[in-house]
């Protein structure tokens, strides 16, 4: 009995797959991934902060032990658990760390997406054609729809508006009012330091736009355009991305 590789789809409505390394996945995978990326990034940030604090405490206790002869356990840690503790991460510091992590991940994915798509598709040459390619072909590939609106000042600044951005389509706000004590208890229970004072505000949406912003920047970089991308959401599920290319003028 021999195992045969899966055959490509025979549906005439489906595109022809000529790449022998192709693989098919469910279109919901990206949506589920984007939902989990932000909590994962905050957990990693908290874990790294705790490890750093433990390392700093261990180093300071070790230095003190060499000076005063403090006894140390067999595991190298101070006797009595002096190195134990829970690291606290400032909201702004955590948000900055999460931004760099998610934006970098999106950038790498954007580079790979364009390299994959452009194997059999001619690459656009002008900056405006690259933006149109992003709004039509790449956006359809990633989010199953085209950008709803594209504006430019013809000086290197482009504004992309998606009125029903897929990653925000299933997001909603809790209408319950949280006081300071309830928010602190919620953060302690979930470990999500992003809650803080933003439990029911639009700022809670912002971390979920870091990865798509990096994705856009990576796609443009692969097309030869260096740019900075900022994203915001004025009302769910819409999202606006501002692309500012190198040398752009207001």
Residue 87 lies in a domain: no
The arithmetic mean of pLDDT across residues 197-224, rounded, is 85
Contacting residues for 112 by C-beta, under 8 A, at least 6 apart: 218
Q: Cα angle vertex 230, ends 227, 234, to 5°? A: 150
With b meaning 16 or more CB within 10 Å and e meaning fewer, what string describes 29-46?
ebeeebeebbeebbeebb
Q: And the tokens for 144?
A: 């199953």
Residue 70 lies in a domain: no
Q: And the tokens for 219?
A: 């796609």
pLDDT by residue (tens digit) across 139-197?
998 998 999 999 999 899 999 999 999 888 877 766 566 566 776 776 676 655 555 54
Residue 69 lies in a domain: no
Distance CA 112, CA 143 (A): 16
- CATH number for position 103: 3.30.1380.20
Task: Please report the pLDDT score of residue 218 as a whole number.
Answer: 97
Residue 98 lies in a domain: yes
Structural domain including 190 reads 28-43+92-245
Task: Please report the pLDDT score of residue 185 as a whole number.
Answer: 74
Residue 212 lies in a domain: yes
Place 128 in a pLDDT band, splitting at 50, 70 and 90.
very high
Residue 128 lies in a domain: yes
Q: Which long-range contacts (CB under 8 A, 24 or more apart) does 188-193 make?
A: 191/42, 191/43, 191/46, 192/39, 192/42, 193/42, 193/45, 193/46, 193/89, 193/91, 193/94
CB 220 within 8 A of CB 193: no
Task: Please report the pLDDT score of residue 92 as a whole number.
Answer: 80
Lowest-confidence range among 68-77, 111-120, 161-170?
Answer: 68-77
Residue 58 lies in a domain: no
Distance CA 198, CA 205 (A): 10
Task: Please report the pLDDT score of residue 95 as a whole number.
Answer: 84
Domains held by the chain: number? 1
Strands 227-232, 157-162: pairing kind? unpaired
Distance CA 152, CA 160 (A): 9
């Amino acid at each position: 009995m021999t195992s045969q590789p899966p055959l490509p789809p025979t549906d005439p409505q489906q595109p022809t797959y000529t790449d022998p390394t192709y693989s098919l996945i469910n279109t919901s995978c990206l949506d589920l991934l984007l939902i989990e990326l932000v909590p994962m990034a905050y957990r990693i940030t908290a874990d790294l902060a705790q490890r750093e604090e433990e390392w700093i405490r261990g180093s300071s206790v070790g230095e003190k032990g060499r000076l005063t002869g403090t006894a140390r356990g067999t595991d190298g840690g101070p006797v009595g658990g002096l190195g134990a503790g829970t690291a606290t991460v400032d909201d702004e510091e955590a948000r900055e760390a999460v931004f760099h992590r998610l934006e970098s991940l999106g950038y790498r994915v954007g580079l790979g997406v364009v390299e994959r798509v452009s194997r059999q598709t001619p690459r656009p040459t002008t900056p405006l054609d690259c933006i149109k390619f992003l709004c039509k072909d790449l956006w359809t590939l990633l989010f199953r729809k085209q950008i709803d609106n594209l504006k430019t000042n013809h000086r290197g600044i482009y504004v992309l508006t998606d009125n029903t951005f897929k990653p925000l389509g299933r997001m909603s706000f809790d209408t319950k009012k949280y006081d300071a004590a309830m928010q602190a208890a919620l953060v302690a229970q979930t470990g999500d330091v992003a809650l803080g004072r933003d439990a029911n505000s639009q700022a809670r949406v912002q971390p979920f736009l870091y990865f798509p912003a990096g994705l856009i920047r990576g796609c443009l970089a692969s097309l030869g355009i260096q740019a900075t991308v900022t994203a915001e959401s004025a009302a769910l599920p819409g999202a606006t991305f501002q692309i500012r290319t190198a040398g752009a003028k207001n």
